[in-house]
């Protein structure tokens, strides 16, 4: 049996995390846990309150834990912008001897903001609608860049294609 892999995504809103996650899913057959999609399904018009986020991540973390326990690879598509959250998931993966790959999608702030806030209804990856500038600014301000020892796989969010992602992750197409 092949060792399960947990892919954790880091990057600004609009950086290309979901596009990258879908490509990784298609290349590897990993299960795609898409936080924005589940948030919308759970709450309709999300408020992003602390309680709402707690309920969401309790559910998603349990789902990830179950899938990894079953030996399935998982692309966990959310902003793992805090070290403590990334470490929590690494600890979970370690319990099942799963590999963890931290995928840091780097995109210029201006490009990411435009993707996250303008005409998002035209993008299949933006299910929560246009992001207000204040929310975008708060999220990018809070991003804790991965430390070198986290061994992030850095992707250029303006170059996301299946071939590029496969090459950067060492996968065959």
- Say yes or no to pLDDT of 149 above 90: yes
DSSP per position, 153-164:
EEEETTS--HHH
Cβ neighbours, 10 Å, residue 111: 15
**How many domains, the chain?**
1
Strands laid side by side in the 5-10 sheet: 31-34, 74-77, 5-10, 99-106, 153-156
Judge whether 11 and 17 are in contact, CB under 8 Å: yes
Could you identify the residue written with the tokens 């969401």?
56
- How many residues in total does the chain contain? 173
Mean pLDDT, rounded, of the chain: 89
Q: What is the mean pLDDT of residues 99-120?
A: 88
23, with CB counted inside 10 A (0-12, 13-18, 19+), is buried
- Say yes or no to pLDDT of 127 above 50: no
CA 132/CA 41 separation, integer angstroms: 21
| Predicted confidence band of residue 173 (pLDDT cuts 50, 70, 90) | low
Q: What is the mean pLDDT of residues 146-154?
A: 96
Domain enclosing residue 63, as ranges: 5-169
Task: Please tell me the pTM assigned to this model.
Answer: 0.89
User: What are 49-103's pLDDT values in tens digits?
Assistant: 789 889 999 999 999 999 999 999 999 999 899 999 999 999 999 999 999 999 9
User: What are 27-46's pLDDT values in tens digits?
Assistant: 999 999 988 878 888 888 87
More confident residue, 37 or 164: 164
> Domain of 129: which CATH number?
3.40.50.300
Which runs of E-coded beta strand occur in the chain?
5-10, 31-34, 74-77, 99-106, 153-156
CA 163/CA 173 separation, integer angstroms: 7
Check residue 40 and give its pLDDT.
81
């Amino acid at each position: 049996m092949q060792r399960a892999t947990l892919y954790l995504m880091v990057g600004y809103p609009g950086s290309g995390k979901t596009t990258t996650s879908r490509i990784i899913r298609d290349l590897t057959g990993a299960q795609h846990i898409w936080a924005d999609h589940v948030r919308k399904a759970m709450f309709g018009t999300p408020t992003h309150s602390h309680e709402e986020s707690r309920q969401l991540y309790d559910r998603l973390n349990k789902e990830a834990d179950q899938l990894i326990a079953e030996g399935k690879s998982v692309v966990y598509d959310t902003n793992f912008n805090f070290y403590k959250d990334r470490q929590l998931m690494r600890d979970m993966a370690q319990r099942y001897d799963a590999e963890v790959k931290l995928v840091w999608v780097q995109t210029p702030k201006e490009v990411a903001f435009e993707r996250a806030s303008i005409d998002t209804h035209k993008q299949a990856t933006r299910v929560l609608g246009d992001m207000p500038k204040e929310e975008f600014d708060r999220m990018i301000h809070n991003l804790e860049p991965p430390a070198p020892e986290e061994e992030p796989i850095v992707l250029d969010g303006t170059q996301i294609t299946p071939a590029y992602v496969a090459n950067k992750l060492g996968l065959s197409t």
